[in-house]
Amino acid sequence: MAKPVSLGEFEQVVLLAILRLETDAYGVTIRSEIAKCTGRDPAPGALYTTLDRMEEKGVVRSWLGEATPQRGGRAKRYFALTKVGLDAVVSAQRAYQSLLNGLDILGGAHAYCFSN
Protein backbone atom coordinates (compact mmCIF):
# COMPACT_ATOMS: atom_id res chain seq x y z
CA MET A 1 0.00 0.00 0.00
CA ALA A 2 1.31 3.47 -0.91
CA LYS A 3 2.35 5.79 1.91
CA PRO A 4 -0.22 8.62 2.42
CA VAL A 5 0.84 12.14 1.45
CA SER A 6 2.09 14.08 4.47
CA LEU A 7 0.05 17.15 5.37
CA GLY A 8 0.82 20.31 7.30
CA GLU A 9 -1.47 21.56 10.08
CA PHE A 10 -3.08 24.29 7.93
CA GLU A 11 -3.52 21.86 5.05
CA GLN A 12 -5.50 19.54 7.35
CA VAL A 13 -7.67 22.44 8.50
CA VAL A 14 -8.44 23.38 4.88
CA LEU A 15 -9.17 19.78 3.89
CA LEU A 16 -11.55 19.27 6.82
CA ALA A 17 -13.34 22.54 5.93
CA ILE A 18 -13.74 21.30 2.33
CA LEU A 19 -15.15 17.99 3.61
CA ARG A 20 -17.64 19.81 5.85
CA LEU A 21 -18.81 22.03 2.99
CA GLU A 22 -19.38 19.04 0.69
CA THR A 23 -20.37 20.48 -2.74
CA ASP A 24 -20.20 24.17 -1.79
CA ALA A 25 -16.46 24.51 -1.10
CA TYR A 26 -14.93 27.54 -2.79
CA GLY A 27 -12.59 30.29 -1.54
CA VAL A 28 -15.18 32.38 0.33
CA THR A 29 -17.02 29.49 2.01
CA ILE A 30 -13.80 27.69 2.94
CA ARG A 31 -12.49 30.82 4.66
CA SER A 32 -15.72 31.39 6.55
CA GLU A 33 -15.98 27.71 7.57
CA ILE A 34 -12.43 27.83 8.96
CA ALA A 35 -13.22 31.07 10.81
CA LYS A 36 -16.45 29.62 12.21
CA CYS A 37 -14.90 26.36 13.41
CA THR A 38 -11.42 27.43 14.54
CA GLY A 39 -11.88 31.12 15.37
CA ARG A 40 -9.00 32.11 13.13
CA ASP A 41 -9.47 34.04 9.92
CA PRO A 42 -6.91 32.83 7.38
CA ALA A 43 -5.34 35.37 5.01
CA PRO A 44 -6.66 34.89 1.45
CA GLY A 45 -3.09 34.69 0.10
CA ALA A 46 -2.22 31.85 2.48
CA LEU A 47 -5.42 29.99 1.65
CA TYR A 48 -4.97 30.23 -2.14
CA THR A 49 -1.32 29.18 -2.11
CA THR A 50 -2.25 26.23 0.14
CA LEU A 51 -5.09 25.21 -2.18
CA ASP A 52 -2.84 25.49 -5.26
CA ARG A 53 -0.11 23.47 -3.57
CA MET A 54 -2.56 20.77 -2.51
CA GLU A 55 -3.97 20.59 -6.02
CA GLU A 56 -0.47 20.10 -7.38
CA LYS A 57 0.10 17.33 -4.84
CA GLY A 58 -3.11 15.70 -6.06
CA VAL A 59 -4.79 16.06 -2.67
CA VAL A 60 -7.69 18.19 -3.95
CA ARG A 61 -9.17 18.84 -7.35
CA SER A 62 -10.93 21.95 -8.57
CA TRP A 63 -13.41 22.93 -11.22
CA LEU A 64 -15.04 26.17 -12.29
CA GLY A 65 -18.63 26.85 -11.29
CA GLU A 66 -21.13 29.57 -11.95
CA ALA A 67 -20.38 33.29 -12.23
CA THR A 68 -22.45 35.73 -10.15
CA PRO A 69 -22.92 39.52 -10.43
CA GLN A 70 -21.45 40.19 -6.95
CA ARG A 71 -18.25 38.50 -8.14
CA GLY A 72 -18.03 40.83 -11.13
CA GLY A 73 -19.10 38.00 -13.43
CA ARG A 74 -16.18 35.79 -12.39
CA ALA A 75 -16.61 32.05 -11.94
CA LYS A 76 -16.30 30.32 -8.59
CA ARG A 77 -13.55 27.70 -8.24
CA TYR A 78 -14.93 24.76 -6.32
CA PHE A 79 -12.76 22.24 -4.49
CA ALA A 80 -13.21 18.58 -3.50
CA LEU A 81 -10.91 16.01 -1.95
CA THR A 82 -9.39 13.30 -4.10
CA LYS A 83 -8.97 9.74 -2.86
CA VAL A 84 -5.33 10.57 -2.10
CA GLY A 85 -6.46 13.62 -0.08
CA LEU A 86 -9.04 11.65 1.87
CA ASP A 87 -6.50 8.93 2.70
CA ALA A 88 -4.00 11.59 3.80
CA VAL A 89 -6.41 13.43 6.08
CA VAL A 90 -7.75 10.17 7.60
CA SER A 91 -4.21 8.97 8.25
CA ALA A 92 -3.23 12.31 9.86
CA GLN A 93 -6.34 12.35 12.06
CA ARG A 94 -5.76 8.73 13.12
CA ALA A 95 -2.25 9.70 14.17
CA TYR A 96 -3.62 12.57 16.28
CA GLN A 97 -6.26 10.27 17.75
CA SER A 98 -3.73 7.64 18.77
CA LEU A 99 -1.59 10.34 20.40
CA LEU A 100 -4.63 11.63 22.28
CA ASN A 101 -5.66 8.18 23.53
CA GLY A 102 -5.30 7.99 27.32
CA LEU A 103 -4.52 11.68 27.72
CA ASP A 104 -8.04 12.88 28.53
CA ILE A 105 -7.26 16.53 27.80
CA LEU A 106 -10.56 17.19 26.05
CA GLY A 107 -12.59 16.55 29.17
CA GLY A 108 -12.21 15.51 32.81
CA ALA A 109 -9.67 16.50 35.44
CA HIS A 110 -6.83 17.43 33.08
CA ALA A 111 -9.15 19.70 31.09
CA TYR A 112 -9.92 21.56 34.33
CA CYS A 113 -6.17 21.95 35.08
CA PHE A 114 -5.44 23.28 31.58
CA SER A 115 -8.28 25.77 31.64
CA ASN A 116 -7.01 27.24 34.91
Partner 1 sequence: MRTASAIEWIFCRLTTKERAAAMLGDLLETGKEKGKLWFWLSVSGVALSLFWRRPLAFFVAYYAGSQMQYFSIMASMHHHPGNLWMQVYGLLDELVDTMWCLSLYAAIRYGLQERTTQMALAWTGICAVTIYFSWQPIVLTVSIGAAFCFVTTAMWTSKRRRESAVVLMTVAIGYAAKTLAAFSYLFLLTYCSSRAWGAKVIDSAIWFYYTESFLSFWVATSAWSYMRDRLMRRTLLESHGEML
Contacting residues toward partner 1, per CB under 8 A: 26-28, 31, 43-46, 48-49, 52, 55-56, 58, 61, 64, 67-68, 70-72, 74-77, 80-84, 86
Cα distances (angstroms) measured from residue 19 to each of 4, 74, 103, 104: 18, 24, 27, 26
User: Which one, 28 or 95, has the nearer CB to partner 1?
Assistant: 28
Phi, psi of 61 (to 5 degrees): -125, 160
Least distance from partner 1 to the Cβ atom of residue 71, Å: 4
Least distance from partner 1 to the Cβ atom of residue 38, Å: 17
Sign of CA dihedral 37, 42, 48, 51: negative
